[in-house]
């Protein structure tokens, strides 16, 4: 879902800044051997989102081709990200990638003037591994071109509110408390629970994607969230694989939840959103944007997970990770306090988000895109 929104937004930005062009589009885990001639006739191999995951990153997160020398056009990251659990500043300081991943990162970085990053956390992790030609462009999903230059909406009444659930199965208790908080604060509002993730229950055939989405525990969590939402008067929206379905958000007044790209979609449309961070992605966006965020975990130890994951999902999926940073049992109280303050002030803390995104686009993202081959 998030990947599709990034793809759509990036293509729109390229067309706006570079003019008409054609795109060849492949999922990052698709082997490209049969397409190498087409790729080498293009101007560049763009790598939107550029997920830095040590599975290793190549060949793992990216399949590409067995011999990278066969790719003659530059590989260009756009909006690079990293993810681990819990993904806070200590995680960033402790992160040590494998030699295979570091080699791939340096190979890619050596082909470009700048490695585009979507938030500041990934920059610190890449810099720690010797990649220094970095540029914080933001995530392409931050930029809805028709909304540039528009102020943030400051609703006096929340008539339609969206909740997006966590990815981790360990966050179900916390999610239920937050949904109950929204039902309490907005008893007269239309309430929606937006399911972004395809899991084993909703997509039995699954995908080749090397993620945790098809774990039975994730499907069980999602079903629990759906039932809780229904009991609390939420309408469940099934949006997995349907980025166009996010247009339903345009008529809403507020988002509260865990899905980073629901959060970015709302902010890009200049609608308030509160993101609960459940891993490095949410932590990084909350730090970079500076408002509209609550941390969902609390560290119990300064250790990092000893076992390197063989999947690309960074959210909490193992008892080892859970012991390091269990979900907070009081996060819903922070959500409640924050929302009450914003309702009283007319969402004053969001006023600066619109000019921040406008400046980031005009001064950083647009020039970066215009400089592409």
At residue 355, φ and ψ (nearest 5 deg) are -65, -30
* pLDDT value for 104: 98
* Nearest alpha-carbon partner for 86 in 277, 287, 275, 332: 277
Distant-in-sequence, close-in-space partners of 17: CB < 8 Å, separation ≥ 6: 366, 369, 370
Q: pLDDT by residue (tens digit) across 58-70? A: 999 999 999 999 9
**Cα distance between residue 61 and residue 360, in whole Å:** 28
> How much of the chain, in percent, has pLDDT values that exceed 90?
87
**Cα distance between residue 236 and residue 35, in whole Å:** 40
Confidence of residue 183 (pLDDT cuts 50, 70, 90): very high
The Cβ-side half-sphere exposure at 126, using a 13 Å CA radius, reads 31
Confidence of residue 365 (pLDDT cuts 50, 70, 90): very high
What interhelical angle do 260-268 and 353-360 show, nearest 10?
Answer: 90
Higher pLDDT, 310 or 367: 367
Confidence of residue 208 (pLDDT cuts 50, 70, 90): very low
Q: pLDDT by residue (tens digit) across 121-156? A: 999 999 999 999 999 999 999 999 999 999 999 999
Distance of CA 334 to the CA centre of its chain: 22
- CATH placement of domain 146-353: 3.40.50.1980
Distant-in-sequence, close-in-space partners of 339: CB < 8 Å, separation ≥ 6: 185, 256, 274
Q: pLDDT by residue (tens digit) across 219-262? A: 999 999 999 999 999 999 998 877 788 999 999 999 999 999 99
Quote the radius of gyration of the chain (alpha carbons, Å): 20
Write down the domain spans for the chain.
2-143+357-370, 146-353
């Amino acid at each position: 879902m998030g990947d599709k929104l990034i793809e759509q937004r990036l293509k729109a930005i390229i067309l706006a800044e570079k003019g008409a062009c054609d795109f060849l589009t492949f999922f990052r885990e698709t082997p490209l051997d049969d397409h190498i001639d087409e790729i080498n006739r293009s101007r560049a191999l763009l790598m939107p989102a550029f997920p830095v995951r040590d599975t290793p990153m190549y060949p793992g997160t990216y399949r590409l081709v067995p011999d990278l020398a066969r790719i003659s056009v530059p590989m260009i990251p756009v909006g690079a990200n990293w993810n681990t659990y819990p993904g806070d500043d200590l995680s960033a300081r402790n992160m040590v990638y494998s030699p295979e991943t570091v080699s791939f990162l340096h190979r890619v970085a050596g082909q470009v003037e700048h490695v585009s990053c979507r938030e500041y956390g990934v920059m610190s992790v890449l810099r720690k591994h010797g990649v220094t030609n970095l540029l914080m462009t933001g995530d392409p999903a931050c930029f809805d071109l028709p909304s540039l230059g528009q102020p943030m909406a400051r609703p006096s009444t929340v008539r339609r509110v969206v909740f997006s659930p966590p990815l981790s199965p360990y966050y179900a208790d916390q999610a239920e408390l937050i949904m109950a908080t929204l039902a309490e604060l907005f008893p007269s509002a239309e309430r929606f629970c937006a399911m972004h993730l395809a899991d084993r229950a909703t997509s039995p055939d699954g995908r080749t994607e090397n993620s945790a989405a098809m774990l039975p525990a994730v499907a069980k969590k999602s079903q629990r969230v759906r039932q809780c939402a229904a009991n609390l008067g939420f309408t469940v929206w099934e949006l997995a694989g349907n980025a166009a379905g996010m247009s339903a958000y345009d008529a809403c007044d507020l988002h509260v939840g865990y899905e980073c790209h629901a959060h970015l979609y709302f902010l890009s449309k200049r609608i308030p959103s509160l993101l609960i961070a459940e891993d490095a992605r949410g932590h990084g966006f909350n730090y970079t944007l500076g408002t509209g965020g609550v941390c969902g975990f609390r560290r119990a130890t300064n250790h990092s997970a000893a076992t390197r994951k063989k999947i690309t999902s960074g959210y909490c999926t193992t008892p080892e990770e859970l012991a390091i940073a269990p979900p907070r049992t009081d996060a819903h109280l922070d959500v409640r306090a924050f929302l009450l303050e914003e309702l009283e002030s007319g969402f004053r803390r969001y006023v600066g988000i619109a000019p921040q995104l406008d400046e980031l686009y005009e001064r950083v993202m647009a020039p970066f895109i215009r400089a592409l081959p």
